[in-house]
Copies of this chain bind each other. A is one copy, B any other.
Amino acid sequence: MENGLLNLKAMDSEQLREHGHKMVDFIADYYKNIENFPVLSQVEPGYLRKLLPDSAPVQPESLESVLEDVQTKILPGVTHWQSPDYFAYFPSNSSVAGFLGEMLSGGINMVGFSWITSPAATELEMIVLDWLANLLKLPSDFLSKGPGGGAIQGTASEALLVVLLAARDKVLREVGKDALGRLVVYGSDQTHSSLLKACQIAGIHPENCRLLRTDTYNEYALSPESLTDAISHDVASGLIPLFLCATIGTTSSTAVDPLLALGKITKRYGIWFHVDAAYAGSACICPEYRHHLNGVEEADSFNMNCHKWFLTNFDCSALWIKDRSALIQALSTTPEFLKNKASQEGTVVDYKDWQIPLGRRFRSLKLWMVLRLYGVENLQSYIRNHINLAKKFEDLVAQDPRFEIVATRTFSLVCFRLLPANKNEEYVNKVNRELLDAVNSSGKIFISHTVLSGKYVLRFVVGAPLTEERHVIGAWKLFQEAASTFIEN
């Protein structure tokens, strides 16, 4: 038969329609029943190999048999990030609009490395990132009409890596490539681990990566004084300050680094200034949270993950840069087989030169659909609702003398811990580790942890699209019940 496929054709509009409708119903039913699953998967390592055959089938199987396996074998091994009882790490939003955009992108399935391979993919990305930059009131240097612009990366790690490479190569062009071992990168001990990984990839020596100490007295923000001290010391030692990564909303406690003061220091020393707002950037579309971005006008690059808290299905990490030529010089390749008139005339953007991979999906579609199907006001309400729910949880914790709040809540993350009568730090940490295990292994909620100033801390983040007040209250009851067990012991 056509395309050599006996039953299901490689592609066929009516088979896609028939099977696509079945899959939509399967996914809708998944969301309908999502509260019935343990949030954190409770399977043992290696569980799936026992359930699946050792080799691919020679003959085709039906969609029904595959979906039966998804239901009975795959879903028990899924940790349900979209469950309303998911409060771990940071959120990773799925939404109706984001899902539809992802579906459309998968349907068109074009590979947009150059403008010519689908002009709409490149141009929609430029337009939608301009829209979002304006919502965030980013400086106009980040808009696509000037020498800067935005591009969608897969993750904040990739965004950070490409701007580090741009900064590295810009400086090495000036001072010579043998200076690689003298380049120094700065962040705080709260900066995301992707900074160290990016340095490792870029060949920047780990011992030249300064993760400056933060402390509880200034809420784990990077202190401008400690940055100045470190830079002065490095310059005196003959090293070359290259790059600063500041964070709006750190992973452990959503600390906010003081952009304005840090930015002025980077200007003085000619350091590339990157701002990582992967999680908290979304909140800054609300006027009452925008002040956290004050000073972003000093930045050379800025990143926010629309796939975290902005209803855009994973992956979609928005990166803006003031000088796109630095990025393109670091990442451009133009083999003969990719040459084309539009690129050679220089009138178009070829996003292949803004990223690590060559190929890229049509990810702007889902961000565009999120912005259009929800509209700005509803997106602001969405953020505010989560922050209010986090505040509600914080209030509940504060009212229970057995618990303490460990860091000030700024967005939708509450950092807290159980404080038993025996306040020996090691014992307290052990109790909280066990408390975390107890609530997670109940399957009723999923939270994660961090360590702040030596304290083992429970992180409770509100950010799943289905979470309502009843889920937050239910989660709190779970902590209270578990606490009773631990305190009695």
Q: In the complex, how many angstroms separate the beta carbon of A87 from the nearest chain B beta carbon?
A: 14
Residues 68 to 120 of chain A near chain B (Cβ within 8 Å)? 70, 73-82, 89, 92-100, 102-104, 106-111, 115-120
CB distance A28 to B20 under 8 Å? yes
| Known contacts A16-B96, A100-B23, A79 near B8 by CB under 8 Å | no
CB distance A45 to B347 under 8 Å? yes
Q: In the complex, how many angstroms separate the beta carbon of A176 from the nearest chain B beta carbon?
A: 11
CB distance A356 to B157 under 8 Å? yes
CB distance B92 to A48 under 8 Å? no
| Known contacts A45-B119, A81-B109, A106-B99, A466 near B356 by CB under 8 Å | no
Q: How many chain A residues touch the partner (CB < 8 A)?
A: 165
A173 contacts B by Cβ under 8 Å? no
CB distance A100 to B20 under 8 Å? yes
| Known contacts A10-B93, A79-B116, A82-B109, A104 near B27 by CB under 8 Å | yes
| Dominant secondary structure of chain A at its interface with chain B | helix
| Top-3 shortest CB links A-B | A77-B120, A4-B381, A203-B203
| Known contacts A118-B77, A373-B61, A45 near B342 by CB under 8 Å | yes
| Known contacts A5-B374, A13-B29, A106-B99, A335 near B193 by CB under 8 Å | yes
**16 other contacts beyond A74-B120, A154-B154, with CB at 8 A cut-off?**
A4-B380, A13-B28, A15-B96, A20-B28, A24-B103, A52-B127, A54-B131, A55-B135, A56-B371, A58-B377, A60-B378, A78-B118, A89-B111, A201-B331, A314-B359, A315-B357
List, in ascending order, chain B residues with CB within 8 A of A24's CB.
16-17, 20-21, 23-24, 103
CB distance B60 to A372 under 8 Å? yes
Q: In the complex, how many angstroms separate the beta carbon of A206 from the nearest chain B beta carbon?
A: 9
Q: Which residue of chain B has its CB nearest to the CB of A339?
A: B449
List, in ascending order, chain B residues with CB within 8 A of A124's CB.
48, 52, 74, 77
Select one of B23, B193, B196, B376 contacting A103, CB under 8 A: B23
Q: Which residue of chain B has its CB nearest to the CB of A32?
A: B13
A337 contacts B by Cβ under 8 Å? yes
Q: For the complex, what is the distance from the CA of A28 to the CA of B451, rounded to whole Å?
A: 50
Q: In the complex, how many angstroms separate the beta carbon of A336 from the nearest chain B beta carbon?
A: 5
Select one of B57, B180, B313 contacting A375, CB under 8 A: B57
CB distance B96 to A9 under 8 Å? yes
> Contact string, A367-399, partner B, CB cutoff 8 A, digits 1/0?
011011111111011101100000000000000
Q: For the complex, what is the distance from the CA of A344 to the CA of B278, rounded to whole Å?
A: 26
Residues 154 to 190 of chain A near chain B (Cβ within 8 Å)? 154-158, 161, 165, 169, 177-178, 180-181
Q: In the complex, how many angstroms separate the beta carbon of A293 from the nearest chain B beta carbon?
A: 18
Q: For the complex, what is the distance from the CA of A192 to the CA of B21, rounded to whole Å?
A: 40
